[in-house]
Amino acid sequence: MVATIQSPGSPVSSSGFDQSWQSPLDDLLALGRAAGADLVEVFLERTDHLGVLAEQDAITSVSPAFGMGAGIRVFRGERDGFVSTNDLSPAGLRSALDQALGMLGLQLLSNARSDYPGLGRLRDFAAAKSGWLGESPSLADATAHLLAGTALLERHGTHLQARRGSYARDWQEVLVAASDGTFARDVRLHQSLGLTVLAADGEHRSSIGRRYGSHGQPDQLLRWDADASAREVCESAGSMLYADYVEAGQMPAVLANRFGGVIFHEACGHLLETTQIERGTTPFADKLGEPIAHQAVTAIDEGLSEGAFGSLAMDDEGMEPQRTVLIENGVLRRFLSDRAGELRTGHARTGSGRRQGHTFAAASRMRNTYIAAGAHTPEQLIASVDKGLYCKSMGGGSVGPTGQFNFAVEEGYLIENGRLTKPVKGATLIGEAKEVMPRISMCANDLDLAAGFCGSVSGSVFVTVGQPHIKVDSITVGGR
């Protein structure tokens, strides 16, 4: 159950969240426990966002945004109630708690006693990150670098009809307190860069885009190799401009590393979140300890890789992240679980409780999710295919609730007699997770990661997808 309170309140200090919040939060948590809640959780948040868009040789959009608020969640048995508010005064937080309790048939009591023991000392993961926002690029730096990037696209590309660059900086401070003693604070800094081109020559068209992202690296934009990025985008656009349309059919496919991992993330990764078990939408709910993929496949989700878009010092329920082996040599080993998932499914928490912000309750979500490297080279995978498709980069797609998927191939090439030949366009990979996973028979030794955004029940969160080159023995390719 979810509700939102919008209350003007009084201006809130910009000094941030620190140990001084312990006393008012203790009072709030004690009230919730005294009312009959099994557990009360408070999520406090401050955000500072900057988005910049460059088109051709001009900055066409600058979008700053600031936010502050709280999300309060109460549990009783397997049920929960959630309310968000942007009023962080004691009265505002108490009003939100009262509404959340009311969703479970509970109410605040003035004289009730509580066995709530109180919060301990703050676990402060933000202490070394206090300067991150000030160390991030200024608006002037961001606009200058983007304009330089779009100018490099013009230099390296041909037949370009549109050139576009984008930059986003998202800074967030969070404080999580819960009646089980959780009391933790963190600061996050995510930055992303994107370049996109549209090339056209008569009837021929190609559109190519690339995104680069990091967490916890304030100087990322200043270190960006814009020339290399522009070359990569323009070379791909040039290769695809005059490509023939692919013929539809069932065939083997080799998927490149980095963003090729989006298919595993979307088609299989979501099915390994306890949220899907609760909904009854995963075919893998009762497959723990059983093979669900080829023995060549080991898949991992973690929040630990330095600088990766999905890394975090703690999740949005105050738990430190883990390295979670989801699939080991084809066998399902773990599910990703948050607080509610542990309560309702019995699968232990994995530090995967994530949310877009204070207006969402946390849910089990992926972080850095990838298929592990294998023993082969990419060339060996390609050489093993007589006739098939090489997918160098993936575009958009859609996924059904139980793992059915279709994904466009942004840049593709035919494989003929073990060699890459001509470029092809219009290809779409179509399949279902439970059928395709057992067909991933070879994994290369070139694991690489790519930044992305994932939308689900708790909003849009920063994630990393990845894989080495992989070979799928047979998959449906849509085309002409």
pLDDT of 5 higher than 60: no
pLDDT of 290 higher than 70: yes
pLDDT of 285 higher than 80: yes
Secondary structure of 382-451 in HEC code, one letter for each residue: HHCCCEEEEEEEEEEEEECCCCEEEEEEEEEEEEECCEEEEEEECCEEEEEHHHHHHHEEEEECCCEEEE
Geometric angle at alpha carbon 445, from 439 and 447, rounded to 5°: 85
Beta partners for residue 470, in sequence order: 255, 443
The encoded tokens of residue 334 equal 């773990």
**Phi and psi torsions of 81, nearest 5°:** -130, 140
Confidence of residue 291 (pLDDT cuts 50, 70, 90): very high
User: What value does the mean pLDDT take over residues 421-442?
Assistant: 97
Residue 350 is classified by DSSP as -
Q: How far apart are CA 469 and CA 302, in angstroms?
A: 20
pLDDT of 116 higher than 50: yes
pTM: 0.94
Among candidate residues 163, 26, 3, the one with its CA nearest the CA of residue 80:
3
User: What value does the mean pLDDT take over residues 57-63?
Assistant: 98
Confidence of residue 470 (pLDDT cuts 50, 70, 90): very high
pLDDT tens-digit readout, 366-380: 999 999 999 999 999
Among candidate residues 388, 224, 238, 218, the one with its CA nearest the CA of residue 307:
218
Confidence of residue 15 (pLDDT cuts 50, 70, 90): low
pLDDT of 10 higher than 50: no
Confidence of residue 12 (pLDDT cuts 50, 70, 90): very low
pLDDT of 461 higher than 50: yes
Confidence of residue 2 (pLDDT cuts 50, 70, 90): very low
Q: What is the pLDDT of residue 367?
A: 98
Q: Do 177 and 186 touch, CB atoms closer than 8 A? A: no
Q: How far apart are CA 225 and CA 212, in angstroms?
A: 11
Among candidate residues 442, 452, 385, the one with its CA nearest the CA of residue 418:
385
- Looking at the chain, the whole-number percentage of residues with pLDDT higher than 70 is 96
pLDDT of 4 higher than 80: no
pLDDT tens-digit readout, 373-400: 999 999 999 999 999 999 999 998 889 9
Report, in this order, helix, strand and coil percent for the chain, each rounded to 5. 25, 40, 35
Confidence of residue 360 (pLDDT cuts 50, 70, 90): very high
pLDDT of 237 higher than 90: yes
Q: What is the pLDDT of residue 114?
A: 78
Q: Do 342 and 335 touch, CB atoms closer than 8 A? A: no
Pick 2-241's CATH classification: 3.30.2350.10, 3.30.2290.10, 3.30.420.40, 3.30.70.100: 3.30.2290.10
Q: How far apart are CA 236 and CA 233, in angstroms?
A: 5
Q: What is the CA radius of gyration of the chain?
A: 24
Q: Cα–chain-centroid distance for residue 305? A: 14
Q: How far apart are CA 266 and CA 406, in angstroms?
A: 10
User: What value does the mean pLDDT take over residues 353-366?
Assistant: 98
The encoded tokens of residue 448 equal 């690489």
Q: Do 289 and 332 touch, CB atoms closer than 8 A? A: yes
Tell me the residue type at 348: A
Q: Where are the domains of the chain?
A: 2-241, 244-478
pLDDT of 447 higher than 70: yes
Q: How far apart are CA 67 and CA 5, in angstroms?
A: 14
User: What value does the mean pLDDT take over residues 465-471?
Assistant: 98
pLDDT of 9 higher than 80: no
CA distances from 459 to 4, 93, 375, 392 (A): 15, 22, 37, 29
Confidence of residue 198 (pLDDT cuts 50, 70, 90): very high
Q: What is the pLDDT of residue 302?
A: 98
Q: What is the pLDDT of residue 207?
A: 96
CA distances from 469 to 153, 309, 366, 431 (A): 27, 21, 21, 18
User: What value does the mean pLDDT take over residues 427-453?
Assistant: 97
Q: How far apart are CA 255 and CA 441, in angstroms?
A: 12
User: What value does the mean pLDDT take over residues 187-192?
Assistant: 98
Q: How far apart are CA 285 and CA 293, in angstroms?
A: 15
pLDDT tens-digit readout, 256-267: 999 999 999 999
Q: Do 448 and 469 touch, CB atoms closer than 8 A? A: no
User: What value does the mean pLDDT take over residues 402-410?
Assistant: 94
How confident is the prediction for the chain on average, in pLDDT? 94
pLDDT of 11 higher than 70: no
- Looking at the chain, the whole-number percentage of residues with pLDDT higher than 90 is 92
